[in-house]
Chains A and B, each alone.
Chain A
């Protein structure tokens, strides 16, 4: 099946998948005599093995990426992280918000794991938006912040308008969430 799709989908595979799946899709003339297109079979044959994901990437993968996307961007109605999330770290209230937001605060992850993944996320997905003097979250800071139960929409709106007022965010549109769409 991979082979049949190769021509038109080489650039557009959206399924987070397996390197060899892409290898096949890009390979010119791969196919007719390949008796199996099962990624594991091909990987064994080629002696390819995956290197372990870094710890922070694993936490992001299992706790955040399902909705926010591997690249920090997915469905329109889900907040974009890539090249956006760092803006929040520009004010104390925004910095608090990132941990107070329910899916972080109520996460089953430990305070240390949350600090690890938040710092990794900010540094790797939105470094350009971080303030120059960004201080990474500590375990203790996360522990205290995640006790809060906030009104998400209101808090977010306040943080965003404050960022704009202080000229720390070029436009509120950058952090706007589209209205829920129906599909």
Chain B
């Protein structure tokens, strides 16, 4: 993976044209030739170990950016600007990157514009700014305020203006085709080419099916979780390939939800921590609290010792579970607390974590051993994105 940044085109200019040193005081003939001319690196094709780190730049939040890292080594391969509390996504075929951005004409004032900015995944060049005419919700960046249907055709952005709705953008045609009203619900989990699900204020899971013209129908599965006493994290474990959402709750339960059909079907809940561990205060918490390795259906959760209302406290360990039966397989102790985690989706997966000191940690999941710890990446790196889930 180290060689994934491919230097291209003429790096060196031949020096052969300078046959001999001219005599002192004599005029040199010909034009200036430099030893090196500038070149631009191009990223290697998308691969499962590529890691995208969204730095929301909290102290100067209009200067958010996404760093591109080689997840195998932690080396920075590139960076591009995002705007204000943005979102980010990768096309399923790995050729395009999508940045959901909000700009004002005069930095903090003037006319506002919202776009899905389409970039080439290898050059990072902008291919198109696709307008979001109704805007988007501005909220501290959460992954599932933007999702892409598994066929790559539709980008779905969440809006609260103040009606809650999901804007459907045809990424192929580069235009927004409609809005799906999702009263009382939020977040987007796009499981099928014309379908997504959302979590609702009353503990329901809404599933919306839409067509190419933006017409839609919705169905609610009620009482999937307790939105008052034990709410589900926004960054619950999303296994998109298997259309299964593992709701992780504030108290530390996991509620598997089958999102395959037109209506969500909840499964049997299980606890992350044993009774003894819960008595010791072990709870899930952080920002990007959980992730799923889809091929093995393993769920990873950031855990810490605290009390109720420490749902955003950084994790000191990552726990690995077999999501099928809730069996815990591994506890990885973090050398420093972390807020966000993600897992590469290849056959030898790595666990990535963003620490409180803005560093990226990577662990081998077969051994649980720390592979590397980077220098700080940006100022307030907050979200991790990998290709494939």
Known: A108-B227, A149-B220, A152-B181. A183 touches B112 (CB 8 A): yes
- Whether the Cβ atoms of A149 and B162 lie closer than 8 Å is no
- The closest CB in chain A to the CB of B110 belongs to A183
- Taken together as a complex, chains A and B put the C-alpha atoms of A102 and B182 apart, in Å, by 10
Contact of A102 among B134, B183, B228 (CB under 8 A): B183
**From A78, A103, A152, A180, residue with most partner B Cβ within 10 Å:** A180
- Whether the Cβ atoms of B183 and A67 lie closer than 8 Å is no
- Taken together as a complex, chains A and B put the C-alpha atoms of A75 and B163 apart, in Å, by 13
Q: Which residues of B contact A107 (CB under 8 A)?
A: 201-202
- Taken together as a complex, chains A and B put the C-alpha atoms of A105 and B227 apart, in Å, by 14
- The closest CB in chain A to the CB of B112 belongs to A182
Q: Which residues of A contact B184 (CB under 8 A)?
A: 102-103, 105-106
Could you tell me the distance in whole angstroms from the C-beta of A77 to the nearest C-beta in chain B?
A: 6
- Whether the Cβ atoms of B227 and A77 lie closer than 8 Å is no
- Whether the Cβ atoms of A152 and B200 lie closer than 8 Å is no
Cβ of A173 within 8 Å of any chain B Cβ, yes or no, is no
- The closest CB in chain A to the CB of B219 belongs to A149
Could you tell me the distance in whole angstroms from the C-beta of B376 to the nearest C-beta in chain A?
A: 34
Contact of A77 among B112, B162, B200, B220 (CB under 8 A): B162
- Whether the Cβ atoms of B135 and A182 lie closer than 8 Å is yes
- Whether the Cβ atoms of A106 and B162 lie closer than 8 Å is no
Could you tell me the distance in whole angstroms from the C-beta of A46 to the nearest C-beta in chain B?
A: 33
Q: Which residues of B contact A67 (CB under 8 A)?
A: 162
- Whether the Cβ atoms of A149 and B201 lie closer than 8 Å is no
Name A119-150 residues within 8 Å CB distance of B: 149
Cβ of B215 within 8 Å of any chain A Cβ, yes or no, is no
A-contact 0/1 string along B121-136, CB 8 Å cutoff = 0000000000000110
> Which bucket holds chain B's interface residue count?
10 to 19
- Whether the Cβ atoms of A106 and B201 lie closer than 8 Å is yes
- Taken together as a complex, chains A and B put the C-alpha atoms of A103 and B183 apart, in Å, by 8
B-contact 0/1 string along A64-97, CB 8 Å cutoff = 0001000000010110000000000000000000
- Whether the Cβ atoms of A152 and B163 lie closer than 8 Å is yes
- The closest CB in chain B to the CB of A68 belongs to B162
The DSSP consensus for interface residues of chain A is loop
Could you tell me the distance in whole angstroms from the C-beta of B182 to the nearest C-beta in chain A?
A: 9
Could you tell me the distance in whole angstroms from the C-beta of B143 to the nearest C-beta in chain A?
A: 24
Q: Which residues of A contact B200 (CB under 8 A)?
A: 106
- Whether the Cβ atoms of A106 and B202 lie closer than 8 Å is yes
Name A153-183 residues within 8 Å CB distance of B: 153, 180, 182-183
Name B167-190 residues within 8 Å CB distance of A: 181, 183-184
Cβ of B106 within 8 Å of any chain A Cβ, yes or no, is no
- The closest CB in chain B to the CB of A105 belongs to B184
Q: Which residues of B contact A77 (CB under 8 A)?
A: 161-162
Cβ of B107 within 8 Å of any chain A Cβ, yes or no, is no
- Taken together as a complex, chains A and B put the C-alpha atoms of A75 and B134 apart, in Å, by 17
**From B163, B200, B228, residue with most partner A Cβ within 10 Å:** B163
Cβ of B29 within 8 Å of any chain A Cβ, yes or no, is no
Could you tell me the distance in whole angstroms from the C-beta of A98 to the nearest C-beta in chain B?
A: 15
Could you tell me the distance in whole angstroms from the C-beta of B304 to the nearest C-beta in chain A?
A: 27
Known: A106-B200, A106-B202, A152-B163. A180 touches B135 (CB 8 A): yes
- Whether the Cβ atoms of A78 and B220 lie closer than 8 Å is no
Cβ of B111 within 8 Å of any chain A Cβ, yes or no, is yes
Contact of B202 among A108, A152, A180, A183 (CB under 8 A): A108
Could you tell me the distance in whole angstroms from the C-beta of A63 to the nearest C-beta in chain B?
A: 11
Name B224-268 residues within 8 Å CB distance of A: 227-228
Q: Which residues of B contact A75 (CB under 8 A)?
A: 162
Known: A107-B201, A182-B112. A149 touches B135 (CB 8 A): no
Q: Which residues of A contact B135 (CB under 8 A)?
A: 180, 182
Known: A180-B135, A182-B112, A182-B135. A106 touches B183 (CB 8 A): yes
Q: Which residues of B contact A151 (CB under 8 A)?
A: 181
- Taken together as a complex, chains A and B put the C-alpha atoms of A153 and B163 apart, in Å, by 10
**From B181, B220, B227, B228, residue with most partner A Cβ within 10 Å:** B181
Could you tell me the distance in whole angstroms from the C-beta of B131 to the nearest C-beta in chain A?
A: 11
**From B111, B113, B162, B202, residue with most partner A Cβ within 10 Å:** B162
- Taken together as a complex, chains A and B put the C-alpha atoms of A67 and B162 apart, in Å, by 9
B-contact 0/1 string along A39-69, CB 8 Å cutoff = 0000000000000000000000000000100
Q: Kindly list the 9 A-B residue pairs having the minimum CB-CB distance in the complex, ordered from nearest.
A: A102-B183, A106-B184, A102-B184, A106-B202, A108-B228, A182-B112, A106-B201, A180-B161, A78-B162
Instruction: Given contacts A103-B184, A180-B161, A183-B112, list 17 more A-B pairs with CB under 8 A.
Output: A77-B162, A105-B184, A106-B183, A106-B200, A106-B202, A107-B202, A108-B202, A108-B227, A108-B228, A151-B181, A152-B163, A152-B181, A153-B163, A153-B181, A180-B135, A182-B112, A182-B113
